[in-house]
């Protein structure tokens, strides 16, 4: 049984997998990670291995507890990958993007796949049908757009994202929603159209924290999977545990 630990920009996800299926998902704020880990170890005594992915600092208490309790594999670009990594600077490729491409291989082998991850930043990554990965794009995420308008102007408020159906906002708040939300929707649809023009039979996967609010505003044929990254991490853990 596998434990997936994904340390993000604001919180940590803990996911328990068994035979490729998600059993439980828990979240921990900064400082609460060891407590959540202890609860999972107690509730799932069958846990025997773990993979750790982090976008930033790894708390020492969490790392030490994981390393002492389970066979731990830290995610890095040095791991055995299920795709051909042809990124020009593989050492700078985000670990989340590696996990997303692994999930694309698992779910869509032999297909051209565009994975859009709508997190703090929006990432666009393309897995080609021959199993090669050359890169993609990184753009400001939905909330980052709202925060930028607030921080870099004198009077614009900080708003929570809101889905809007038109570019014509009749108030300052709606104008901001129109620019941030509708602007991102058009950006995503444009990326989908451009990628479809390059690749036949393209599969598009939408994931990340803002996938739900964006999903119904994108073109038809999008597959939304909020746990896509976690499934990729579980796949990488199984792959590398077999080759240790």
Same domain for 108 and 129, yes or no, is yes
Mean pLDDT of the chain: 94
Final residue of a structural domain among 44, 74, 104: 74
**What pLDDT sits at residue 90?**
93
Q: Identify the bridge partners of residue 21 per DSSP, sorted by sequence position.
A: 18
**What pLDDT sits at residue 219?**
81
Task: Write out the residue range of the structural domain in which residue 9 sits.
Answer: 2-74
In tens digits, the chain (244 residues) has pLDDT values of 999 999 987 789 999 999 999 999 999 988 899 999 999 999 999 999 999 999 878 889 999 999 999 999 999 999 999 999 999 999 999 999 999 999 999 999 999 999 999 999 999 999 999 999 999 999 999 999 999 999 999 999 999 999 988 888 899 999 999 999 999 999 999 999 999 999 989 999 999 999 999 999 998 789 999 999 999 999 999 999 987 6
**What pLDDT sits at residue 10?**
76
Same domain for 70 and 93, yes or no, is no
Q: Which residue of the set 96, 125, 210, 234 is catalytic?
A: 96
**What pLDDT sits at residue 30?**
84
pLDDT in tens, 132-191: 999 999 999 999 999 999 999 999 999 999 998 888 889 999 999 999 999 999 999 999
The answer to whether position 241 is within a domain reads no
The answer to whether position 240 is within a domain reads no
Same domain for 161 and 226, yes or no, is yes
CATH number of the CATH domain containing 151 = 3.30.420.40
3-state DSSP of 134-169: EEEEEEECHHHHHHHHHHCCCCCCCCCCCCCCCCCC
Same domain for 219 and 131, yes or no, is yes
Same domain for 121 and 25, yes or no, is no
The answer to whether position 21 is within a domain reads yes
With vertex at residue 68, the alpha carbon angle to CA 63 and CA 72, rounded to the nearest 5 degrees, is 65
The answer to whether position 16 is within a domain reads yes
The answer to whether position 244 is within a domain reads no
Same domain for 70 and 17, yes or no, is yes
Final residue of a structural domain among 54, 74, 94: 74
**What pLDDT sits at residue 8?**
83
Residue 144: phi, psi to the nearest 5? -60, -35
Please give the Cα distance from 153 to 175 (Å, whole number).
15
What global pTM score does this model have? 0.93
Nearest to 81 by CA among 63, 66, 95, 71: 95
Burial class (CB in 10 A: 0-12, 13-18, 19+), 12: buried
**What pLDDT sits at residue 244?**
63
Residue 193 bears catalytic tag = no
The total number of structural domains that make up the chain: 2
Same domain for 122 and 187, yes or no, is yes
């Amino acid at each position: 049984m596998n434990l997936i630990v994904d340390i993000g920009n604001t919180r940590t996800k803990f996911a328990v997998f068994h035979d490729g299926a998600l059993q439980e998902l828990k979240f921990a704020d900064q400082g609460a990670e060891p407590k959540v880990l202890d609860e999972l170890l107690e509730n799932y005594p069958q846990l025997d291995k773990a993979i750790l992915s982090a976008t930033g600092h790894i708390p020492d208490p969490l790392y030490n507890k994981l390393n002492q309790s389970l066979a731990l594999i830290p995610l890095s670009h040095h791991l055995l990958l299920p795709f051909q990594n042809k990124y020009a600077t593989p050492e700078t490729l985000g670990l989340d993007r590696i996990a997303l491409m692994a999930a694309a291989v698992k779910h869509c082998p032999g297909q051209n796949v565009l994975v859009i991850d709508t997190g703090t930043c929006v990432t666009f990554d393309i897995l080609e049908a021959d199993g090669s990965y050359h890169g993609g794009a990184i753009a400001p995420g939905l909330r980052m757009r709202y925060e930028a308008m607030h921080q870099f102007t004198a009077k614009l408020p900080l708003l929570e994202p809101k889905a809007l159906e038109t570019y014509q906002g009749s108030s300052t708040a709606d104008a901001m929603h129109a620019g941030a939300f509708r602007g991102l929707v058009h950006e995503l649809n444009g990326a989908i159209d451009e990628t479809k023009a390059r690749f036949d039979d393209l599969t598009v996967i939408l994931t990340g924290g803002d996938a739900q609010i964006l999903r119904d505003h994108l073109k038809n044929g999008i597959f939304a999977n909020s746990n896509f990254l976690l499934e990729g991490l579980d796949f990488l853990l199984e792959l590398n545990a077999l080759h240790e």
